[in-house]
Protein backbone atom coordinates (compact mmCIF):
# COMPACT_ATOMS: atom_id res chain seq x y z
CA UNK A 1 0.00 0.00 0.00
CA UNK A 2 1.25 3.46 -0.87
CA UNK A 3 0.35 6.78 0.66
CA UNK A 4 -1.77 8.83 -1.73
CA UNK A 5 -0.46 12.17 -3.01
CA UNK A 6 -3.81 12.82 -4.74
CA UNK A 7 -5.63 15.94 -3.48
CA UNK A 8 -8.97 15.08 -1.86
CA UNK A 9 -10.88 17.36 -4.25
CA UNK A 10 -9.74 15.20 -7.20
CA UNK A 11 -11.35 12.11 -5.64
CA UNK A 12 -14.96 10.97 -5.56
CA UNK A 13 -16.32 8.40 -3.09
CA UNK A 14 -17.82 5.37 -4.87
CA UNK A 15 -18.19 2.95 -1.97
CA UNK A 16 -17.13 1.85 1.46
CA UNK A 17 -15.48 -1.22 2.95
CA UNK A 18 -17.90 -2.55 5.56
CA UNK A 19 -16.32 -5.79 6.83
CA UNK A 20 -14.33 -8.88 5.94
CA UNK A 21 -15.48 -11.73 3.72
CA UNK A 22 -14.22 -15.27 4.08
CA UNK A 23 -10.91 -16.31 5.60
CA UNK A 24 -8.42 -15.24 2.91
CA UNK A 25 -8.42 -11.48 3.45
CA UNK A 26 -11.24 -10.46 1.13
CA UNK A 27 -13.29 -7.41 2.06
CA UNK A 28 -17.02 -6.79 1.83
CA UNK A 29 -17.85 -3.55 0.05
CA UNK A 30 -20.97 -1.40 -0.13
CA UNK A 31 -21.00 0.18 -3.60
CA UNK A 32 -22.59 3.54 -4.42
CA UNK A 33 -22.40 2.87 -8.18
CA UNK A 34 -25.25 1.82 -10.43
CA UNK A 35 -25.08 -1.06 -11.17
CA UNK A 36 -23.30 -2.06 -7.97
CA UNK A 37 -20.48 -3.97 -9.64
CA UNK A 38 -19.39 -0.94 -11.73
CA UNK A 39 -17.08 -0.20 -8.81
CA UNK A 40 -14.98 -3.17 -9.91
CA UNK A 41 -14.25 -1.40 -13.22
CA UNK A 42 -11.73 0.68 -11.28
CA UNK A 43 -8.69 -1.44 -10.42
CA UNK A 44 -6.91 1.21 -8.34
CA UNK A 45 -8.70 2.60 -5.32
CA UNK A 46 -7.72 5.27 -2.87
CA UNK A 47 -8.93 4.25 0.58
CA UNK A 48 -9.69 7.11 2.96
CA UNK A 49 -10.59 7.21 6.66
CA UNK A 50 -9.96 9.77 9.42
CA UNK A 51 -7.53 11.84 7.34
CA UNK A 52 -5.50 8.77 6.34
CA UNK A 53 -5.40 7.53 2.77
CA UNK A 54 -3.70 4.68 0.95
CA UNK A 55 -3.60 3.32 -2.57
CA UNK A 56 -4.69 -0.28 -3.20
CA UNK A 57 -5.00 -2.48 -6.25
CA UNK A 58 -8.07 -4.66 -6.78
CA UNK A 59 -7.09 -8.18 -7.88
CA UNK A 60 -10.63 -9.55 -8.21
CA UNK A 61 -14.16 -9.04 -7.03
CA UNK A 62 -17.72 -10.19 -7.46
CA UNK A 63 -21.30 -9.33 -6.60
CA UNK A 64 -22.59 -11.13 -3.50
CA UNK A 65 -26.21 -10.16 -2.87
CA UNK A 66 -26.37 -6.38 -2.42
CA UNK A 67 -22.69 -6.03 -1.62
CA UNK A 68 -19.46 -6.72 -3.44
CA UNK A 69 -16.55 -8.76 -2.28
CA UNK A 70 -13.08 -7.69 -3.32
CA UNK A 71 -9.61 -9.16 -3.11
CA UNK A 72 -6.94 -6.49 -2.68
CA UNK A 73 -3.35 -7.10 -3.73
CA UNK A 74 -1.17 -8.10 -0.77
CA UNK A 75 -4.10 -8.45 1.63
CA UNK A 76 -4.25 -12.15 2.54
CA UNK A 77 -5.09 -12.17 6.24
CA UNK A 78 -8.65 -11.95 7.62
CA UNK A 79 -7.61 -10.03 10.74
CA UNK A 80 -5.62 -7.47 8.75
CA UNK A 81 -8.56 -7.15 6.32
CA UNK A 82 -10.81 -6.41 9.31
CA UNK A 83 -8.79 -3.22 9.94
CA UNK A 84 -9.92 -1.93 6.52
CA UNK A 85 -13.57 -1.69 7.62
CA UNK A 86 -14.81 1.89 7.53
CA UNK A 87 -12.53 3.07 4.73
CA UNK A 88 -14.23 5.02 1.95
CA UNK A 89 -13.36 3.86 -1.56
CA UNK A 90 -12.39 6.75 -3.81
CA UNK A 91 -11.33 7.08 -7.43
CA UNK A 92 -10.09 10.01 -9.48
CA UNK A 93 -12.91 12.16 -10.87
CA UNK A 94 -11.12 12.14 -14.22
CA UNK A 95 -11.70 8.36 -14.48
CA UNK A 96 -15.49 8.63 -14.28
CA UNK A 97 -17.34 8.16 -17.58
CA UNK A 98 -18.61 11.29 -19.31
CA UNK A 99 -22.35 11.67 -18.83
CA UNK A 100 -24.94 12.66 -21.41
CA UNK A 101 -26.38 16.18 -21.49
CA UNK A 102 -28.68 16.71 -18.49
CA UNK A 103 -27.18 13.87 -16.43
CA UNK A 104 -25.21 14.56 -13.25
CA UNK A 105 -23.16 12.71 -10.71
CA UNK A 106 -24.35 13.16 -7.12
CA UNK A 107 -21.09 14.88 -6.16
CA UNK A 108 -21.88 17.58 -8.75
CA UNK A 109 -25.24 18.31 -7.11
CA UNK A 110 -23.97 18.42 -3.53
CA UNK A 111 -23.46 22.01 -2.42
CA UNK A 112 -25.81 23.57 -4.99
CA UNK A 113 -28.13 26.32 -3.74
CA UNK A 114 -31.78 25.29 -4.10
CA UNK A 115 -34.09 28.11 -5.19
CA UNK A 116 -37.86 27.84 -5.59
CA UNK A 117 -40.01 29.49 -8.29
CA UNK A 118 -40.54 32.56 -6.10
CA UNK A 119 -36.77 33.10 -5.92
CA UNK A 120 -36.53 31.98 -2.29
CA UNK A 121 -33.37 30.18 -1.21
CA UNK A 122 -34.46 26.92 0.44
CA UNK A 123 -30.91 25.88 1.35
CA UNK A 124 -28.06 23.83 -0.11
CA UNK A 125 -28.01 20.19 -1.16
CA UNK A 126 -26.12 18.40 1.60
CA UNK A 127 -26.35 14.89 0.14
CA UNK A 128 -28.66 12.56 -1.76
CA UNK A 129 -30.43 9.36 -0.72
CA UNK A 130 -31.44 6.41 -2.85
CA UNK A 131 -34.97 5.35 -1.95
CA UNK A 132 -35.83 2.86 -4.66
CA UNK A 133 -38.61 4.90 -6.24
CA UNK A 134 -36.41 7.95 -6.89
CA UNK A 135 -33.40 9.70 -5.45
CA UNK A 136 -34.02 12.28 -2.73
CA UNK A 137 -32.04 15.48 -2.14
CA UNK A 138 -31.41 16.46 1.47
CA UNK A 139 -31.53 20.27 1.47
CA UNK A 140 -30.13 21.89 4.60
CA UNK A 141 -30.43 25.53 5.63
CA UNK A 142 -27.53 27.84 4.88
CA UNK A 143 -26.67 31.53 5.18
CA UNK A 144 -29.45 33.48 3.48
CA UNK A 145 -31.93 30.61 3.34
CA UNK A 146 -35.63 31.18 3.91
CA UNK A 147 -35.69 29.40 7.28
CA UNK A 148 -33.88 26.81 9.38
CA UNK A 149 -35.77 23.78 8.04
CA UNK A 150 -34.19 20.72 6.48
CA UNK A 151 -36.15 19.60 3.42
CA UNK A 152 -36.29 16.35 1.49
CA UNK A 153 -36.95 16.98 -2.20
CA UNK A 154 -37.39 14.28 -4.83
CA UNK A 155 -34.80 14.36 -7.59
CA UNK A 156 -37.37 14.04 -10.36
CA UNK A 157 -38.16 16.01 -13.50
CA UNK A 158 -41.39 17.45 -12.03
CA UNK A 159 -39.43 19.00 -9.15
CA UNK A 160 -36.08 19.95 -10.68
CA UNK A 161 -36.62 22.73 -13.20
CA UNK A 162 -32.99 23.57 -14.03
CA UNK A 163 -29.44 22.98 -12.90
CA UNK A 164 -26.65 25.52 -13.42
CA UNK A 165 -23.38 24.04 -12.18
CA UNK A 166 -21.42 27.18 -13.10
CA UNK A 167 -23.72 29.36 -10.96
CA UNK A 168 -23.98 26.68 -8.25
CA UNK A 169 -27.77 26.71 -8.38
CA UNK A 170 -30.73 24.42 -8.86
CA UNK A 171 -34.18 25.82 -9.55
CA UNK A 172 -37.07 23.74 -8.23
CA UNK A 173 -40.85 23.61 -8.30
CA UNK A 174 -41.38 23.12 -4.57
CA UNK A 175 -43.64 24.74 -2.01
CA UNK A 176 -41.49 26.27 0.74
CA UNK A 177 -44.10 25.20 3.33
CA UNK A 178 -43.73 21.55 2.36
Q: How big is the CA angle at 84 (ends 129 and 87), to the nearest 5 degrees? A: 30
| H or E segment and range at residue 24 | none
CATH architecture of 106-172: Roll (2.30)
Cβ 150 vs Cβ 138: under 8 Å: yes
Give the domain 2-95 fold.
Elongation Factor Tu (Ef-tu); domain 3 (2.40.30)
89-138 per-position pLDDT tens digit: 999 999 999 989 989 999 899 999 999 999 999 999 999 988 888 999 99
| C-alpha angle 138-129-149 in degrees, rounded to nearest 5 | 15
Q: Taking the model in full, what pTM does it have? A: 0.77
**Percent helix, percent strand, percent coil in the chain, to nearest 5:** 10, 45, 45
Amino acid sequence: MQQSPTPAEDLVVLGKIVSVFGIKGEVKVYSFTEPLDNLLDYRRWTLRRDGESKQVEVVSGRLHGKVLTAKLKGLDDREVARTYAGYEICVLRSLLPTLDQGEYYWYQLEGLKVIDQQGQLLGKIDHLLETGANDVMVVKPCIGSLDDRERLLPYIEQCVLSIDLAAGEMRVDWDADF
